[in-house]
Amino acid sequence: MPDLGKYAEAVLSSYVLSILLIVAMIVVSVRRSRKVKAALEEIEKRGKSNG
């Protein structure tokens, strides 16, 4: 851990907040991608069995 001096709070909080936002963005994107993928597969399967 480097010595951040008196600005430790500022530096750490900006790193924590930014990384949180980035990770949240990635998680949301991946989750939605999986969900939509699964839903689409199900609908396509249903379409095939019907017709």
Partner 1 sequence: MGSIWEYANPKKFIATTDRLLPWVSALALVALVGGLIWGFFFTPDDYKQGSTVKIIYLHVPSALMAINAWMMMLVASLIWIVRRHHVSALAARAAAPIGAVMTLIALITGAIWGQPMWGTWWEWDPRLTSFLILFLFYLGYMALWAAIENDDTAADLTSILCLVGSVFAILSRYAVNFWNQGLHQGSSVMRAGAMMGDTEERVSNVYAVPLFVCIAGFILLFIALVFLRTQTEIRARRMRALLARERMN
Please report, as ranges, the residues that interact with partner 1 according to CB under 8 A: 1-8, 10-11, 13-15, 17-19, 21-22, 25-26, 29-30, 32-33, 36-37, 39-40, 43-44, 46-47
* CB of 30 closer than 8 Å to CB of 23: no
Query: In the complex, what is the shortest distance from the CB of residue 30 to partner 1, in angstroms, rounded to a whole number?
Result: 7
**Residue 29 to residue 26: CA distance in whole angstroms:** 5
Query: In the complex, what is the shortest distance from the CB of residue 40 to partner 1, in angstroms, rounded to a whole number?
Result: 5
Query: In the complex, what is the shortest distance from the CB of residue 38 to partner 1, in angstroms, rounded to a whole number?
Result: 10
For residue 16 the two structure tokens come to 């924590």
DSSP label at residue 49: H
